[in-house]
Structure 1
Amino acid sequence: MKDVVDQLASEKSEHVEKLIEWLKIPSVSTDSSLKGEVRRAGQWIEEELSSAGFETRLDDTDGHPICLAQWTGAEGAPTLLIYGHYDVQPPEPLDLWRHGAFEPTLEGDDLVARGATDDKGQALALVRGVCGVLRSRGSLPINVKFVIEGEEEIGSPNLTGYLEAHKDELSADVALIADCSQFGPGMPAITVGLKGLVYLEIHLQGPNRDLHSGSFGGAVENPANALTRILGSLRDDKGHITIPGFYEKVRDLTEEERAAIRELNFDEEGFRTDLEVPMVHGEEGYSTLERKWARPTLDINGLLSGWTGEGAKTVLPAHASAKMSMRLVPDQDPDEIADLVVQHLKSICPETCSIDVHCHHGAKPVLVEQNSPWLDATSRAIEKGFGKAPVMIREGGSIPVVSDLKATLGMDTILLGLGLPDDNAHSPNEKFHLPDYQKGIETMAWLLDEMASV
């Protein structure tokens, strides 16, 4: 495989040019006005795979399409299913970007653009690695299938049904996803745990219209006041979530797991200074990494009420709303937690307002089986590609497809991280470190070789 890796190393400029081309497409899945652009991003990656020799198609769903690509010419060899997504988060707030969000810009060794690391850059690294082997050799040492969707950032509403409908066609020995981070610069990692997710939208209605705060203040409930009281009551001053039953099924870290986290020597002061916060904060009794990786959280993601334009307007708003997410850990169930939280919110809403709670997407928490020949093969490939063996880490994020792949197709997933913790995923000035992009491409080539021997 070294000859192929050397060839991939000589094609660095082309790899970057291809990524820039894809990143220019504003494939924001939550923006209905960009539906055509989302589809164009799917067509782009389909063509990339087709031109390398994969059998491809773009399957329509009730939302955005899914790219399916297969090469199954390695009879008797293992089959790898690779998942990725071509949709991206909205770029707002636009004024905080140093350049246009969809105008990929090189800043030293970093490529800055929306989707650079989440997930176009990481997904394309896998595609370029596999396609490089196929172009050089004319065949692959194992069978490879790709499922690359356009709805991950909105909770993959059509993916579970798609997996079920194409169960036989998608059968494989193991799945691979690159949508995570390394532990730090020069510290490659395999993610062995992900948090689950519950996402809610809360609406409080007061009077039938906005009112003069002088004429009506004190006589009519202000829904903004009521909502802030409700939200403020959901956590105590020790960072503990106060919703009854919320922690009932939380699986506590073992002493061995806590010791393993301590051995990673996380730079908490560097973490704090990078974020420019006075001090770290979270649930009392746990370290920063334990809170990020293995303790459930509750966060307000957005608030809206009243007058938010320039200057003053003395208004008593008729309506107040909030968006709120909870990250879950084993063995919490997102449906159970959603029910608990909705009932609690309704029980503490004052009678002076009406409340409506809408549940958006959710995901189950995941722990990856570490005693696995596929994980061992990935570790060896990473060591060859990055020059250093990976560490095993958890992530605070959620990737709903991991549990779907297990439940629907019965396969485990390897979570490879090519990004860095400071890549600004979901934030302005998202970036991807191009040396890691190249290492990811070369690691993917090595991985095909390693998996062929399992």
Structure 2
Amino acid sequence: MTETISTEVGAERSAVLRGADGWLDTLQDWVRIPSVSADPEHRTDVAASAHFFADQLRARGFPEVEVLEDGPYLPAVLAHWPSGDPDAVRVVVYGHHDVQPADGEHRWTHPPFEPQIIDGVLHGRGASDDKGNIAMHLLGLDAHLAATGRTAPAVDLTMLVEGEEESGSPHIMELLERYRGRLAADLVVVSDTGIFGPRTPSVCIGMRGLVAGEIHVHGPDIDLHSGSFGGSVPNPIAELSRILAALHDDNRRIAVPGFYDGVIDPTETERAATAALPFDEQEWITGPAASRVAAGEAGWSTLERVGARPTAEINGIWGGYTGPGNKTIVPTDAYAKLTFRLVGRQDPATIMRQVTDYVQSIARPGVTVEIRWEGGGVAPLYVDTTHPATTATRKALGLAFDVPADDVLMTREGGSGPEAELADVIGAPLVFLGVMTDADQIHAPNESAPVSLLLKGCEAVAHLWRELADLGRAGLRQ
């Protein structure tokens, strides 16, 4: 292992460093399991991943560990370790063990499910999103127990690690409702986010919502000879392209009527704070964005577009003949996958209805257009920046990164997850604790995670349990 963290540190960091090598071996073993929830051929791998993590929790002393395989959801892990202290803060840690598909393997420098540590960076699918961030809680708990001398955590600790977040958490409500009685908590900690940069620690204070669907345009009932029929009947690919182009106006603003009704614009204070962030746009464009220019809704900066504005994205499009050579046809069908990121008070069900109505209204005669939505979508969520738990999280990260708590920034992220559902069902405030960065290439080939950041995340976990214990349940409610 290549590591540069100083050993002139406190008890938590010393314990993290002592356990780092074995923990990294465990994380690499977990990354080797291709737990791709989107691919039915990997269902057994998703189950194997859940059981692997459950075994790691048992090995660390969790007295109650169960792999949940009794519902429509893919296998999840639910574990509980009571503190033994009556005033202990009750915490639910949420994350996921499923990973994105590793398609385009020819573009991976290192095979996605053969993890390697090279120059202090762990390479592999899930190294960052989200196995790395969830595995932090294993070593973080070890360090917490070692530093405090306790035989049980100083917080009443529950872990819920689901197996289909990368598929949009379509059954998260069934999972939460079924186990609501075992998820009573004073605080939810989500470890599926990141920091602003390796030298700029931050806590996420907002996640966008998400709805996802597939649009199907049907034209002729069979493929037709384009010489005999082209130009005389509607072409579904051309019609689909026209519909997709109509999703945005010339200013890249979403053209769906009513779409912005629930959007809450950031305040001038927040816009000023965002503008003050140490963000090098050109470095971002040519680095993690792997692009040539920044583009998006007119009137907003790149960081605002990513965290504070809604989006409509075309994730994939196909139809007709795509093999070698030519096949001169008017195809019968065309398809596209769409996702919409939501902010403010945008409601997933309302957005789905608005988009469906709009697409149907602009479809021309001669084709049928249908949108199939995936699940019910997820709502946006914002964190109370003044809550004692947010302050404790910033302090924990500051200790791990050797900066004052006030220097730990508060930023929004553009991703989505079931955080709003978690907070609503559990009925508790929520904070984010993760150490991903834009450079980790999550959801893309060559996903990776710097070992130094993962270990800082482990240390932050250990500090957070102590900080919450110092607050107690009464202090958390202030």
Q: Give TM-score scaled by structure 2 length.
A: 0.92
SS in 1 for 2:438: coil
Residue among 107, 132, 139 paired with 2:118? 107
Matched residue, 1:396? 414
SS in 1 for 2:440: coil
Q: How far apart are 1:41 and its partner, in Å?
A: 0.3
Partners in 1 of 2:68 and 2:24 — Cα distance? 27
Matched residue, 1:46? 54
Matched, 1:273 2:281: no
SS in 2 for 1:11: helix
8 Å CA contact 2:205, 2:384 repeated in 1:
yes
Q: How far apart are 1:246 and its partner, in Å?
A: 0.9
8 Å CA contact 1:9, 1:442 repeated in 2:
no
Matched residue, 1:65? 75
Aligned length: 453
Matched, 1:292 2:292: no
Equivalent positions of 1:239-258 (< 5 A) are: 239-258=252-271
Matched residue, 1:366? 381
Equivalent positions of 1:131-150 (< 5 A) are: 131-134=142-145, 137-150=150-163
Q: What per-residue deviation string (whole Å, max 9, x for no partner) do you get for residues 13-54 of structure 1?
A: 112111100000010111111111110100001010011111
SS in 2 for 1:137: coil
8 Å CA contact 1:49, 1:131 repeated in 2:
no
Q: Quick one: which amino acid aligns to residue 212 of structure 2?
A: Y
Partners in 1 of 2:68 and 2:410 — Cα distance? 35
Q: How far apart are 1:313 and its partner, in Å?
A: 2.0
Matched residue, 2:476? none
Equivalent positions of 1:409-448 (< 5 A) are: 409-448=426-465
Q: Which segments of 5 or more consecutive residues in structure 2 lack a partner in the other structure?
A: 1-8, 472-478
8 Å CA contact 1:116, 1:430 repeated in 2:
yes
Equivalent positions of 1:313-328 (< 5 A) are: 313-328=327-342
Matched residue, 2:65? 56
Q: Quick one: which amino acid aligns to residue 261 of structure 1?
A: T
Residue among 452, 466, 470 paired with 1:449? 466
Matched, 1:379 2:397: no
Partners in 2 of 1:59 and 1:288 — Cα distance? 40
Partners in 2 of 1:253 and 1:411 — Cα distance? 24
SS in 1 for 2:84: coil
Q: What per-residue deviation string (whole Å, max 9, x for no partner) do you get for residues 102-127 of structure 1?
A: 11122312111111111000110122
Equivalent positions of 1:323-342 (< 5 A) are: 323-342=337-356
Partners in 2 of 1:158 and 1:327 — Cα distance? 19
Partners in 1 of 2:145 and 2:456 — Cα distance? 18
Matched residue, 2:6? none
Partners in 1 of 2:10 and 2:89 — Cα distance? 21
8 Å CA contact 1:334, 1:363 repeated in 2:
yes
Partners in 1 of 2:431 and 2:352 — Cα distance? 28
SS in 1 for 2:389: helix
Which sits farther off after the overlay, 24-33 or 57-66? 57-66
Q: How far apart are 1:133 and its partner, in Å?
A: 3.2
Partners in 2 of 1:440 and 1:73 — Cα distance? 22
Partners in 2 of 1:41 and 1:190 — Cα distance? 28
Partners in 2 of 1:195 and 1:232 — Cα distance? 23
SS in 2 for 1:265: coil
Partners in 2 of 1:396 and 1:3 — Cα distance? 35
Structure 1 residues 119 and 127: alpha-carbon distance in aligned structure 2, compared to 1, 3 A threshold = same
Q: How far apart are 1:63 and its partner, in Å?
A: 3.0
SS in 1 for 2:269: helix
Matched, 1:5 2:23: no
Matched residue, 2:188? 175
Matched residue, 1:82? 93
Q: Quick one: which amino acid aligns to residue 359 of structure 1?
A: W
Q: How far apart are 1:255 and its partner, in Å?
A: 0.8
Q: What per-residue deviation string (whole Å, max 9, x for no partner) do you get for residues 329-362 of structure 1?
A: 1011111011000011111111110111101141
Superposition CA RMSD, Å: 1.4
Q: How far apart are 1:276 and its partner, in Å?
A: 4.2
8 Å CA contact 1:272, 1:278 repeated in 2:
yes
Q: How far apart are 1:4 and its partner, in Å?
A: 4.4
Q: Quick one: which amino acid aligns to residue 391 of structure 1?
A: L
Partners in 2 of 1:43 and 1:430 — Cα distance? 23
Q: What per-residue deviation string (whole Å, max 9, x for no partner) do you get for residues 293-336 of structure 1?
A: 11111110000011112222222111000001111110111110
Identity %: 38
Partners in 2 of 1:155 and 1:198 — Cα distance? 8
Partners in 2 of 1:139 and 1:23 — Cα distance? 28
Q: How far apart are 1:373 and its partner, in Å?
A: 0.8
Q: How far apart are 1:162 and its partner, in Å?
A: 2.1
8 Å CA contact 2:143, 2:459 repeated in 1:
no
Structure 1 ranges of 4+ moved more than 6 A: none
Which sits farther off after the overlay, 311-320 or 22-31? 311-320
8 Å CA contact 2:129, 2:442 repeated in 1:
yes
Q: Give TM-score scaled by structure 1 length.
A: 0.97
Q: Quick one: which amino acid aligns to residue 57 of structure 1?
A: E
Q: What per-residue deviation string (whole Å, max 9, x for no partner) do you get for residues 270-308 of structure 1?
A: 112223433211111111111111111111000001111
Matched residue, 1:204? 217
Matched, 1:128 2:146: no
8 Å CA contact 1:188, 1:417 repeated in 2:
no
SS in 1 for 2:190: strand
Which sits farther off after the overlay, 272-281 or 328-337? 272-281
Matched residue, 1:119? 130
Which sits farther off after the overlay, 129-138 or 436-445? 129-138
Q: How far apart are 1:71 and its partner, in Å?
A: 0.7
Partners in 2 of 1:241 and 1:375 — Cα distance? 33
